[in-house]
Structure 1
Amino acid sequence: MNKDTIKSSDEKSRKKGFKGNLRKTALISIGVVILLGAIIYPFYKHAMTHESTDDAFVESHVVAISPRVAGHVAKVLVSDNQKVKKGDIIAEIDPRDFKVALDIATARLESSTASVTEAEALVISAQQELLQKRAELTSQTAGLSKTKSEVAEARAGYSRDENDLGRIQRIAKAGAVSIQEFDHAKAQERMSRASLNSAKYSIATQSAKVRQARAVIEAAQGKLQQAYAQIDMRKAQLREAQAAVEQSKLNLSYTNVVAPCSGYITKKAIEAGNYVMAGQNILSIVNPDVWVVANFKETQIMDMRSGQDVEIEVDSYPGVVFKGHVDSIQRGTGSRFTLLPAENAVGNFIKVVQRVPVKITLDSSAHAAGYDLAPGMSVVPSVDISTEGRAKKVSVALSDKQEQ
């Protein structure tokens, strides 16, 4: 075999090996690309269908507790981070002053009750007196009527005796009547005149008595009205005393500071012997029910809807993913509701992407799973914006069912 043949054979072997290596490299490259695609695609898909932010925190109802009355603290029945139930007594304020105030209010109530009873008795007495005076007026009016009839009778008798005296005078001039009969007729006429004058005087006297009786009735009516006014005033005082008793009872009950809700004691700033004022914050109660407030960029909420699924990662529990859903989106950015909103009506305006708070609720209790979530913890929520949201799905299902 000559040198040319050997050289040609070696060259063919090198070309064949190079092609083999090239094929292997291509296959490995394709495999690597496929593997990288398989690894990267889920992350790409997640990034395209989810919106997340690290500007999110756990929130809860935090109730600031303050006493409703002032006084010295007698007992403190809770400690920091203790769990309490609604209605549990947290602290006791010295009740002695409030018991004395209740005793005083009760005594005033009893006095007011007695005053009302007295006023009612005065009303009854005034009513009876008025009835008596009206009866007297009726009697005097009847006496006046009788006197008037007597005057009419006396006037008729006087008229008769006057006429008889005139006839006897004419007959006496003719000498047909004795002097004795003439004197008798004259005396009778004088007696009738005296009786008439006496009856007229009796009318004046009886009329005065009637007027006096009417004046007495008016006085009795005024006395009755005064008695009614007195009873109204004393009943008002009674209601005021009753209100004072109720207020004293409330103040006494307020000496026991109770928990208005269930939760955990935080920021306790009260000890036995302290003097506390009404409305002074002495501690806070954190409700175990929590949610997440995530401040998304305004460019992230375009496809966000209520009911969309959310995966929540809490910094305190790495590797643990909590499930939740979007509850609501605030109607306004966070900066709009700050104490001093930004004033942009100037020439040096710089556009800043605003943040919109989104409320996210947990689907299951984290406490039931052994995880304690407290207000202020940092979380990273990831909202699945590829779905329309549970609320929309439920409404559509209900509308379809109604149409069927």
Structure 2
Amino acid sequence: MSADQSKQPQDDTAKPDDAPKKPSIFSKPLFWVVLVVVVGAIVIGSVLYYLDARQYETTDDAFVDAHIVRISPTVAGTLKQVADVDNRHVEAGRLLAVISASGPEARLSEAAADVKQAEAQFEQARAQVAAAQATRDQAAAQARGPLATAAKAQQDLARYEALQRIDSAAVAGQQLDAARAVARSTAAEATAARQQIGSAAANVEVARRQVTAARAVIEARQASVRQANVTLGDNRLTAPVSGQVVNRQVNVGSYVGPGTQLMAIVPDHIWVTANFKETQLQRMKIGQPVMITVDAYPDVKFTGHVDSVQRGAGQAFALLPPQNATGNYVKVVQRVPVRIEFDVKPGGPDPRKYPLGPGMSVVPTVKVR
């Protein structure tokens, strides 16, 4: 091996030591400039996000809600007509179902016949009043003669007795006895005439009471007719509110009883029930604006406002409220239902034009600042 060859490796191993070192990235001013700009942007963005986010309270534990109206009959029978309105909008008063009404119709006819009978009895009682009044008037007219005769006999007797006291020879005893007999006889006839008048007047009063009783019977029969009409009307089921018919469970020919649910109606008036954490209610007030996003229509931004806040967490109204009087209690943030009403603003979306119904998930965002 030559001397030149032995020096070759030593020269090669010396090259790395002689090469200049690469400068560190931390020593470059541009790195620090970029780092400061990025950190500043993050800090500014975080501050701006915090300042904006602190103005709102939101939750995904929220649903569309409504007072669902359940249609049930109050009488039993077989359905002979059911409107074909599944998932359709109906107005209040729309006929939904008809129950066979042979029994109520018969009772209505019977009640109407009873009314006519009572009216006939009433007219008969009025006629009896007129007849009794005529009898009373006739008795009064017939009593005028006996009363006048009795009065004249009493006057004659009084005159004879007065003359006798003045002069006992002025009036014969036989004549005085005859006057007394005539006075007694005419007085008895007058008493009988008065009794006939009293009896006729009593008959008039009885007839009038019969008229009153007949009028009461008519009113009772008319009440029966009204009750029969109500019963007959109960066989016709109409929509009590405007809304969409859902959950139909019967068909023509189905036998139903009182309380059997035939269908339900979701009213046009709906709202949002949002279960916010109790820690989110500090600045929440009635009337604050709300932005509502429905999961079914994520691109539609509905608007609303806070209508009310329930006084009590949801667990307080549970069937079995929790008992926290134990040694292993763990505090859990409770949720409080908040009712949010939809607003219809010019140019904004109208929730009535969308098929929104109870149970649909929404995300409300309340502006609290």
TM-score normalised over the length of structure 2: 0.83
Residue equivalent to 2:254: 274
1:284 aligns with 2:264: yes
Partner residue, 1:377: 360
Q: Is 2:57 aligned against 1:51?
A: yes
Aligned equivalent of 1:84: 90
The question of whether the paired residues in 2 share the 8 Å contact of 1:73 and 1:276 is answered with yes
CA deviation profile, 1:196-225 (whole Å, cap 9, x unmatched): 212211222222222222333332232222
Instruction: Give the structure 2 partner of residue 74 of structure 1.
Output: 80
Shift of 1:351: 4.1
Q: Which moved more, 1:272-281 or 1:102-111?
A: 272-281
Give the partner amino acid of 1:72. Answer: T
- Cα gap change, 1:344 to 1:208, in 2 (>3 Å): farther
Secondary structure of the structure 2 residue equivalent to 1:327: strand
Equivalent position amino acid for 1:51 in 2: E
What does residue 305 of structure 1 align with?
285
Moved more, 45-54 or 301-310: 45-54
Q: How far apart are the structure 1 equivalents of 2:255 and 2:25?
A: 94
Alpha-carbon distance in structure 1 between the residues aligned to 2:179 and 2:258:
84
1:260 aligned onto 2:266 = no
The corresponding residue for 2:7 is none
Q: Are 2:64 and 2:359, in contact at CA under 8 Å, matched by a contact in 1?
A: yes
Aligned equivalent of 1:119: 125
- Go from structure 1 to structure 2 and tell me whether the alpha carbon gap of 1:384 and 1:113 turns closer, same or farther (over 3 Å shift): same
The 8 Å contact of residues 342 and 351 in structure 2, kept in 1 or not, is answered as no
Point out where structure 2 has 5 or more consecutive residues left out of the alignment. Answer: 1-17
1:313 Cα deviation from its structure 2 partner: 2.6
Q: Is the 8 A contact 1:311 1:381 kept in 2?
A: yes
Output the CA distance in 2 between the equivalents of 1:155 and 1:18.
Answer: 166
Pair 1:244 & 2:214 matched: no
1:394 counterpart residue number? none
Match of 1:362 in 2: 342
Matched with 1:325 is: 305
Query: Comparing 343-352 with 289-298, which one deviates more in the overlay?
Result: 343-352
Separation in 2, partners of 1:220, 1:349: 92
Aligned partners of 1:41, 1:371: CA distance in 2, in Å?
38
Cα deviation for residue 276 of structure 1 reads 2.2
Change (3 A) 1:357 1:210: same
Alpha-carbon contact 1:123-1:227 (below 8 Å) kept: yes
Rg comparison, structure with higher value:
1
- Secondary structure of the residue aligned to 1:122 is helix
Query: Which AA in structure 2 matches 1:333?
Result: A
* Aligned counterparts of 1:28 and 1:200: Cα–Cα separation in 2: 151
2:195 maps to 1:215: yes
Q: Is it true that 1:227 corresponds to 2:207 in the alignment? A: yes
Q: Tell me, in whole angstroms, the C-alpha distance in 2 between the residues paired with 1:157 and 1:24.
A: 163
Gaps of 5+ in 1: 1-8, 165-188, 387-404
The answer as to whether partners of 2:268 and 2:352 remain within 8 angstroms in 1 is no
Same amino acid, percent of matched pairs: 36
Between 1:102-111 and 1:333-342, the stretch displaced more is 333-342
Separation in 1, partners of 2:324, 2:135: 84
| Residue number in structure 2 paired with 1:170 | none
Which SS does the other structure have where 2:169 is aligned? helix
Give 1:119 shift: 0.8
Cross-structure match for 1:172: none
Report deviation, 1:111: 0.9
Whether contact under 8 Å (1:366, 1:372) holds in the other structure is: no
- 1:167-212, Cα deviation, whole Å (9 max, x unpaired): xxxxxxxxxxxxxxxxxxxxxx8xx322221221122222222222
Paired residues of 2:302 and 2:351 also in contact (CA < 8 A): no
Distance 1:318 1:216 in 2: 97
- The alignment partner of 1:299 has SS state of helix
Quick check: which one's helix share is greater?
A: 1
TM-score of the pair, normalised by structure 1: 0.76
Look up the equivalent residue of 2:211 and give its one-letter code.
I
Shift of 1:136: 3.7
Q: Which residue of 1 aligns with 2:37?
A: 31
Give distance in 1, aligned partners of 2:327 and 2:147.
Answer: 100
What value does the CA root-mean-square deviation take over the aligned residues?
A: 3.0
Aligned-pair distance for 1:280? 3.0
Going from structure 1 to structure 2, the CA distance change for 1:143 and 1:337 (only over 3 Å counts) comes to: farther
Structure 1 residue 300: deviation in Å? 1.1
Among 100, 105, 108, the residue aligned to 2:106: 100
| Contact persistence 1:367–1:373 (CA under 8 A) | no
